[in-house]
């Protein structure tokens, strides 16, 4: 067994409970905080990668966000599942040395420091690729590595507001409105996972790693690609043009709210017939999406009057597969939703502080390599001592033929 393989086996277990995933054997060092970059690493963990979350002594800022969970952050637990937790103060020489030691055998490193911070800490790409030329180095930023805003801290809702997303949500001639749910962060996370996977594939051909840059600005604009087309001289409001459709949107019913989409001729006719307005479907004045958008002030009042005959859930059942629709529900309703249960998107977890809870499992289904069972997010520094001990043992060559102490600790339910 080579020294590198021996060291690698000593630091973390090479197998978790459950099936192997497509990224089994890939090791990721996650130095990031908040949502975008950490959840990108979680998506890699879902696919079998071993992710070591490295936090400063104070922990990821998300740990301290308000939560109804005693002593824990719901957001941190939900975003950081299936990771091993280590605390390192990278401003201390000894802790920096531990990180650099981990870099030698890592496949991926992800951080979301501002562009000037990584070089100051001594963990910029050029420094780390000299240690490990095969390293995939992913830097997540607010605005990218260059330009006048490069050093500005980036946050989801700041980028929403800056890039026109909030303007698009607002009512015509009204104030801009935020999209709650950190949609820019989560899409940036998907870009992180996709970019890393592509770089790992390319490394199989070239044998070397590379730098990957993901920014919230790039994510926010990518999400709006369908609207980000502006012909020379166009004077119109590009963003709000995409609201065309007239009837498409959320409507009040006798009880609750219902989202409807009827943009195709088939769906439009089915909607009209189901609500008792068949005459609208036969009217050439409304027979295209553009026409219905133009005459929405005529159609929508009639539609809403008709929808008062039933509740949102009743309409949803009546429309079935013939009209795209959904009754407005709470997130809490998803835990027991039959479709979510059928797709096995929710599982039971055990956490040392909050006990048993239900949470999301994984984003992608792989038939042949579904990936290991997810486990709860780590407590702050939960595995620091084990990683330090394993690295010390590896440096003295005393790990050959021995069990992995960190693996034993992970499997012990009292440490999870």
CATH of the domain at 274: 3.30.1540.10
pTM reported for the whole predicted model: 0.89
Asked if residue 364 belongs to a domain, the reply is yes
**Residue 362 and residue 323 in one domain:** no
**Residue 120 and residue 215 in one domain:** yes
- How far does Cα 129 stand from its chain's mean position? 27
Q: How many domains does the chain have?
A: 2
Only one residue has tokens 């998907």, namely 190
CA dihedral 142, 145, 150, 154 (to 10 degrees): 10
**Residue 31 and residue 142 in one domain:** yes
User: Mean per-residue pLDDT for 296-315?
Assistant: 96
pLDDT confidence of 300, banded at 50, 70, 90? very high
**Gap between the Cα atoms of 377 and 126, Å rounded:** 31
**Residue 127 and residue 219 in one domain:** yes
Question: Domain of 352: which CATH number?
Answer: 3.40.50.10540
**Gap between the Cα atoms of 114 and 146, Å rounded:** 11
pLDDT in tens, 149-196: 999 999 999 999 999 999 888 777 789 899 999 999 999 999 999 999
- Residue 217 near residue 143 (C-beta atoms within 8 A): yes
Q: Which residues pair with 182 in a beta bridge?
A: none
**Residue 87 and residue 197 in one domain:** yes
Pick the residue with more confidence: 4 or 327? 327
**Residue 21 and residue 93 in one domain:** yes
Pairing of the two strands 211-215 and 136-141: parallel
**Residue 289 and residue 174 in one domain:** no
**Residue 114 and residue 212 in one domain:** yes
**Gap between the Cα atoms of 280 and 213, Å rounded:** 51
pLDDT score of 405: 45
Asked if residue 125 belongs to a domain, the reply is yes
pLDDT in tens, 199-219: 999 999 999 999 999 999 999
**Residue 325 and residue 198 in one domain:** no
Count the Cβ atoms, other than its own, within 10 Å of residue 350: 12
**Gap between the Cα atoms of 334 and 320, Å rounded:** 19
Domain boundary among 329, 364, 389: 329
pLDDT score of 172: 72
Could you list the residue range(s) of the whole structural domain that residue 19 is in?
Answer: 3-223+345-415
């Amino acid at each position: 067994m080579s020294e590198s393989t021996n060291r690698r086996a000593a630091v973390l277990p090479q197998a978790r409970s459950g099936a192997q995933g497509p990224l089994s054997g890939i090791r990721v060092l996650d130095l990031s905080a908040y949502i975008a970059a950490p959840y990108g690493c979680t998506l890699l963990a879902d696919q079998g990668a071993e992710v070591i979350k490295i936090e400063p002594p104070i922990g990821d800022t998300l740990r301290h966000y308000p939560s109804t969970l005693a002593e824990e952050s719901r957001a941190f637990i939900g975003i950081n599942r299936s990771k091993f937790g280590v605390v390192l103060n990278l401003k201390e020489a000894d802790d920096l040395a531990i990180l650099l030691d981990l870099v030698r055998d890592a496949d991926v490193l992800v951080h979301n420091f501002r562009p000037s911070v990584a070089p100051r800490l001594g963990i910029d790409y050029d420094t780390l690729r000299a240690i490990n030329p095969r390293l995939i180095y992913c830097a997540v930023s607010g605005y990218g590595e260059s330009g006048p805003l490069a050093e500005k801290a980036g946050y989801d809702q700041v980028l929403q507001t800056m890039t026109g997303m909030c303007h698009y949500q607002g009512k015509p001639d009204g104030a801009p409105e935020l999209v709650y749910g950190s949609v820019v962060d989560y899409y940036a996370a998907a870009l992180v996972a996709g970019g890393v996977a592509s770089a790992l594939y390319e490394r199989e051909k070239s044998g070397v790693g590379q730098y990957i840059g993901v920014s919230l600005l790039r994510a926010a604009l990518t999400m709006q690609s369908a609207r980000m087309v502006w012909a020379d001289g166009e004077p119109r409001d590009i963003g709000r043009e995409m609201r065309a459709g007239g009837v498409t949107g959320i409507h009040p019913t006798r009880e609750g709210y219902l989202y409807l989409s009827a943009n195709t001729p088939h769906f439009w006719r089915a909607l009209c017939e189901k609500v008792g307005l068949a005459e609208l479907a036969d009217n050439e004045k409304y027979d295209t999406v553009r026409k219905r958008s133009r005459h929405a002030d005529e159609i929508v009042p009639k539609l809403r009057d008709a929808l008062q005959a039933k509740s949102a859930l009743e309409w949803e059942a009546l429309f079935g597969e013939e009209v795209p629709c959904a009754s407005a529900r709470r997130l809490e309703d998803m835990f027991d939703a039959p479709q979510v249960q059928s797709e096995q998107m929710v599982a039971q977890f055990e956490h040392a502080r909050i006990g048993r809870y239900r949470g999301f499992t994984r984003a992608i289904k792989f038939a042949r390599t579904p990936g290991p069972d997810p486990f709860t997010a780590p407590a702050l520094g939960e595995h620091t001592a084990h990683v330090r001990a394993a690295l010390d043992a590896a440096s003295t060559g005393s790990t050959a033929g021995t069990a992995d102490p960190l693996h034993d600790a992970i499997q012990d339910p009292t440490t999870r």
